[in-house]
Amino acid sequence: AAGGPIEVIVTIGASEGLKFEGDVEAIATLVSEVKGNILIIRPKTSWTSWSHKYENKKIIARVSAKNITSLAMSGNGSIKVAGTVQATELTTTLSGSGTIDAYVNTDKLTAVISGSGSVNLTGKTDDANVTLSGSGSFSGKTLSMNNLNTRISGSGSVNVKVEDNIKALVSGSGRVNYSGNPNVEQRVIGSGGVSKI
């Protein structure tokens, strides 16, 4: 879990660790801690004041992990995963204008996006639950999935490839764009919609 203008690069392998690169002063004000199985990267002060002070500084956090079940970013930073996320369940949470990019192989995927950020996933999952509020986007055009359950409020977009079933609730101008030949159950309130591409 991270936030602010930090680029997090996660490498999946046999070891675990964390190394920072970039502005020395900004890095000195960051705290990294493990709570349960969660690695948290945060400033000693609030994210708001830290982000304003160091917004033009490039900071990279290189994380080595044996396995991943959750990716979370708040603010305008990014998380990129090198390697395949193998997990029974994976949760991605994004608030703000940041990005999460990963190749996944999961049974169940949950994505929650609030704000204008984007989650870009490739690979495969059996079941996906995607919730968008705001103008964010979920891109899974090359993410093969059997079932999608999605809820969009606002102007966000979900772009996916689905084989079996789509259940969509759209309120506002949001859109679900899909490929494949799934059964579609939809409820649309507003100018949004569900479309095959």
Query: What are the start-end ranges of the E strands in 116-182?
Result: 118-134, 137-154, 157-172, 175-179
Q: What's the confidence (pLDDT) of residue 2?
A: 67
Euclidean distance between CA atoms 121 and 61, whole angstroms: 20
Q: Are 163 and 185 in contact (CB under 8 A)?
A: no
pLDDT tens for the 197 residues of the chain, in order: 666 678 999 999 888 899 999 999 999 999 998 887 888 888 888 878 888 888 788 899 999 998 999 999 888 889 999 999 999 999 999 998 999 999 999 999 999 999 999 999 999 999 999 999 999 999 999 999 999 999 999 999 999 999 999 999 999 999 999 999 999 999 999 999 999 99
Q: What's the confidence (pLDDT) of residue 13?
A: 86
Which run of H or E residues covers position 98?
none
User: Which residue type sits at 153?
Assistant: S
Among 10, 185, 191, which residue's Cα sits nearest to residue 85? Answer: 10
Q: What's the confidence (pLDDT) of residue 49?
A: 85
- Domain range summary for the chain, segments of one domain joined by +: 2-192
The Cα-based distances of 55 to 5, 28, 49, 75, 111 in angstroms read 6, 15, 10, 11, 27
Euclidean distance between CA atoms 174 and 18, whole angstroms: 38
Q: What's the confidence (pLDDT) of residue 36?
A: 78
Options 3.40.50.980, 1.10.1200.10, 3.20.20.70, 2.160.20.120; CATH for 2-192 is 2.160.20.120
